[in-house]
Amino acid sequence: MWDKYPFIREEVAALEEYILEKFPREGEFLDLVSKNVINSGGKRLRPVLAILSAMFGDYSREKIFPVAAALETLHTATLIHDDIIDNAETRRGQPSVFSKHGINMAVYTGDYLLVKALLLLSEAGLPTEKLKDIAKAMEALCLGEVEQYLSRHRLITPREYLKRIMRKTGILLSASCALGAFVTGCPEEQVRLLGRFGMYFGTAFQIRDDLLDLEATDANAPEIGKPVVNDLKEGIVTIPVILAIRKNDTLREQVQNYFEGMGDVRNIVAGVMRSGGHEEARRLRDRYIDKCLHILEKLPSAEHRKVMEDSVLWLQEEVQPIPA
Amino acid sequence: MWDKYPFIREEVAALEEYILEKFPREGEFLDLVSKNVINSGGKRLRPVLAILSAMFGDYSREKIFPVAAALETLHTATLIHDDIIDNAETRRGQPSVFSKHGINMAVYTGDYLLVKALLLLSEAGLPTEKLKDIAKAMEALCLGEVEQYLSRHRLITPREYLKRIMRKTGILLSASCALGAFVTGCPEEQVRLLGRFGMYFGTAFQIRDDLLDLEATDANAPEIGKPVVNDLKEGIVTIPVILAIRKNDTLREQVQNYFEGMGDVRNIVAGVMRSGGHEEARRLRDRYIDKCLHILEKLPSAEHRKVMEDSVLWLQEEVQPIPA
């Protein structure tokens, strides 16, 4: 994803080195498993947004790497535990820790990475207030995940949806950007702006993810790396569905029936499409994309700002089905 | 356990109030579950040792409560995740989160409490160095748990055993005492001494726990709140067994066979007893008890020091079988 930007690619490679060095013990199974998971790729969205935000200030790896590494480690921990909840066989195209080593090792490895993130944060020498911001973001993430888990098979409102994804994705991305800007000494107003940018980015990102899940077919699913229409299958209504059933009672009933074990998920996907759910969701996503771009305009023009603009626009790209 | 000491009982009650206030949201399932687990009791060993250590300095609840609450919250988190690994139906005489709400909610609740502990620590305003000590203690705890998990059905040496229990129990208890003394401004030498006290206390505590597990019968098990000879059943050799098999090859073979599914655990318990495993383990425990008492002698005489001495001696008390 960052291949087009050599100066970012270089930072990401150095950061990955830096993270892997935090798991040096050959004989420790936890270090081995952690290293493998971290090595298995991923977009590195949180650390890269932190790094890009940090570039508005007096950038140095020394300042940003402990924070960026903590964010990625934290994110990896949540993925490992999520895979337990989702019974996920694969992650990033590799067998998940859960499927490879069992539930117990997945619980332990996630905990270990959470603790490692705390260790990295303690090395970042952050003031209490900022540490609290990250802890608050993690708290929101837990609350969001559990709210979603407990609301399976329930049709939520757009407002409930937005609250959920801000907790699940927005707040940590917001903290990533704000923290990145903070550690390199950006003025308070920039820290605040970048914090808002992260929140909007996260919201648009999640809507995009929802669209991908609905649009994924068996042909292009390997590209996304997860089963098709996974959300509905797990009993979770995503924004295209939520928006479509608002004015289509038949579809609402179909979804309810599906959650009770009746009907075919393909009919629902087709129904959402016909009711304009995809279109409306895209428009909602684009509203958040506009908010992101609007904030970037207020920040000094620079090469890294351009990368941020590009990554915002990337949220708009459609997945291309792989030709059969 | 602290009922004999009104001034400690009072601090514990106030601390419990303080912790419960950190989970105020009626509508949040995670707050509800967390509150219930914390309310279900426990010895509060880590926070009380932190409080007692803090009393050597300029004591105030304001200084010690965030740290003490973080330690208890952290400990509770590890218990909830341990219960997943151990398939434990009950904890402290109540259904475990795992058995009551399933694996998924147990994963989430443990994570949430870990994050809450971080939040409390960020409120404690600790210097980076001290935060790192706690993170290091948690890291050791994870490594110790996983080492034990992966070494199931393997006969380890006394040295390996001691390393394991220092990681699993000693280091966090050591950090609890040292941190308690630190936050109330004790001189560096006292902080260091209390840190060592915690490590020895934790070691003796774990050996006591091992003895209890072997000595527990169906009659007195409810008092301890877990199944009898749980450790051996889980494939874990504890110190009385480790010491007994050093000079009894027949017993060693019996244990190995038992781990392969042959023989009766009661014969092993009887064999360990006959080979003096219990006696030797008690002597080892007493060596650590002596180390604890020796350290306490170097600290100023005070009412709270007396409580610490009593709790060290409590480690020596034998469990009384409940009359049938």
- The ipTM value here is 0.91
What is the distance between the alpha carbons of residues B149 and B153, in angstroms, rounded to a whole number?
9
Q: CA nearest A23 in B: which residue?
A: B139
Please check the confidence at residue B222 and state whether its pLDDT lies above 60.
no
Closest residue to B142, CB basis, from A30, A136, A145:
A30
Average pLDDT, chain A: 91
If interface means Cβ-Cβ distance under 8 Å, which residues of chain B face chain A? 28-30, 81, 84-85, 103-105, 107-108, 110-112, 114-116, 118-119, 121-123, 125, 128, 131-132, 134-136, 138-139, 142-143, 145-147, 149-150
Per DSSP, the three-state class of A94 is strand
Place of tokens 């007096």: A58
For residue B135, which residues of chain A lie inside 8 Å, CB to CB?
A: 115, 118-119, 122
CB of A177 closer than 8 Å to CB of A49: yes
The 10 Å CB-count burial string (b at 16+, else e) for A290-321 is ebbeebbeebeeeebbebbeebbeebeeeeee
Query: Cβ–Cβ of B107/A81 closer than 8 Å?
Result: yes
Number of Cβ atoms within 10 Å of the Cβ of B38 = 20
Output the six-digit token pair for B140: 């050791």
pLDDT of residue A144: 95
How do B94-95 and A90-91 pair as beta strands?
unpaired
Closest residue to A131, CB basis, from B104, B108, B122:
B122
If interface means Cβ-Cβ distance under 8 Å, which residues of chain A face chain B? 28-30, 81, 84-85, 103-105, 107-108, 110-112, 114-116, 118-119, 121-123, 125, 128, 131-132, 134-136, 138-139, 142-143, 145-147, 149-150
For residue A107, which residues of chain B lie inside 8 Å, CB to CB?
A: 81, 84-85, 107, 110
- Altogether, the residues listed in chain A come to a count of 324
For residue B147, which residues of chain A lie inside 8 Å, CB to CB?
A: 29
Please check the confidence at residue B225 and state whether its pLDDT lies above 50.
no
Output the six-digit token pair for A132: 């609290």
pLDDT of residue A324: 35
Dihedral, CA of residue B189, residue B194, residue B200 and residue B205, to nearest 10: 180
Q: List, in sequence order, every residue forming a beta bridge with A95; answer none if it has no partner.
A: A90
- Cβ-proximal residues to A232 (8 Å cutoff; 6+ apart), any chain: A214, A238, A241, A255, A258, A265, A268, A269
Q: Which pLDDT tens digit goes with each residue over B241-267?
A: 999 999 899 999 999 999 999 988 889
Is A323 exposed, middle or buried, given 0-12, 13-18 or 19+ CB atoms closer than 10 A? exposed
Please check the confidence at residue A217 and state whether its pLDDT lies above 70.
no
B228-242: average pLDDT: 90
Q: Which range has the worst mean pLDDT, A139-143, A186-190, A218-222?
A: A218-222
Smallest Cα distance from B222 to chain A, Å: 26
What is the distance between the alpha carbons of residues B43 and B41, in angstroms, rounded to a whole number?
7
What is the distance between the alpha carbons of residues B63 and B50, in angstroms, rounded to a whole number?
11
For residue A135, which residues of chain B lie inside 8 Å, CB to CB?
A: 115, 118-119, 122
For residue B74, which residues of chain A lie inside 8 Å, CB to CB?
A: none
For residue B81, which residues of chain A lie inside 8 Å, CB to CB?
A: 107-108, 111
Q: Which pLDDT tens digit goes with each residue over B115-148?
A: 999 999 998 989 989 999 999 999 999 999 999 9
3-state helix vs strand vs coil in chain A, percent to 5: 70, 0, 25
Closest residue to A111, CB basis, from B81, B119, B134:
B81
Q: What is the pTM of this model?
A: 0.92
- Cβ-proximal residues to B312 (8 Å cutoff; 6+ apart), any chain: B201, B204, B289, B292, B293, B296
Query: Cβ–Cβ of B146/A103 closer than 8 Å?
Result: no
Tell me the backbone φ, ψ of residue B91, rounded to 5 degrees: -150, 125
Calculate what percentage of chain B has a pLDDT beyond 90.
77
Tell me the backbone φ, ψ of residue A95, rounded to 5 degrees: -60, 135
Closest residue to B131, CB basis, from A107, A110, A122:
A122
Nearest partner of B238 among B289, B200, B284, judged by Cα: B284
Please check the confidence at residue A322 and state whether its pLDDT lies above 50.
no
A155-161: average pLDDT: 96
Please check the confidence at residue A161 and state whether its pLDDT lies above 90.
yes
- CA A315 to chain CA centroid, Å, is 12
Average pLDDT, chain B: 91
Query: Cβ–Cβ of A146/B103 closer than 8 Å?
Result: no
Question: Which of A25, A96, A111 is the mutation pick for testing B, counting most B CBs within 10 A?
Answer: A111
Query: Cβ–Cβ of A122/B115 closer than 8 Å?
Result: no
Query: Cβ–Cβ of A135/B115 closer than 8 Å?
Result: yes
Domains parsed from chain A with CATH numbers = 1-125 (1.10.600.10), 170-324 (1.10.600.10)
Closest residue to B108, CB basis, from A28, A115, A142:
A142
Q: Which pLDDT tens digit goes with each residue over B86-109?
A: 888 888 888 888 889 889 999 999
A90-95: average pLDDT: 84
Query: Cβ–Cβ of A146/B122 closer than 8 Å?
Result: no
Three-state SS sequence of chain B = CCCCCHHHHHHHHHHHHHHHCCCCCCCCHHHHHHHHHHHCCCCCHHHHHHHHHHCCCCCCHHHHHHHHHHHHHHHHHHHHHHHHHCCCCEECCEECHHHHHHHHHHHHHHHHHHHHHHHHHHHCCCCHHHHHHHHHHHHHHHHHHHHHHHCCCCCCCHHHHHHHHHHHHHHHHHHHHHHHHHHCCCCHHHHHHHHHHHHHHHHHHHHHHHHHHHHCCCCCHHHHCCCCCHHHHCCCCCHHHHHHHCCCHHHHHHHHHHHCCCCCHHHHHHHHHHCCHHHHHHHHHHHHHHHHHHHHHCCCCCHHHHHHHHHHHHCCCCCCCCCC
- Cβ-proximal residues to B149 (8 Å cutoff; 6+ apart), any chain: A104, A105, A108, B85
Q: Which pLDDT tens digit goes with each residue over B162-174?
A: 999 999 999 999 9
Q: Give the end-to-end CA distance of chain B in Å, rounded to a whole number.
A: 24
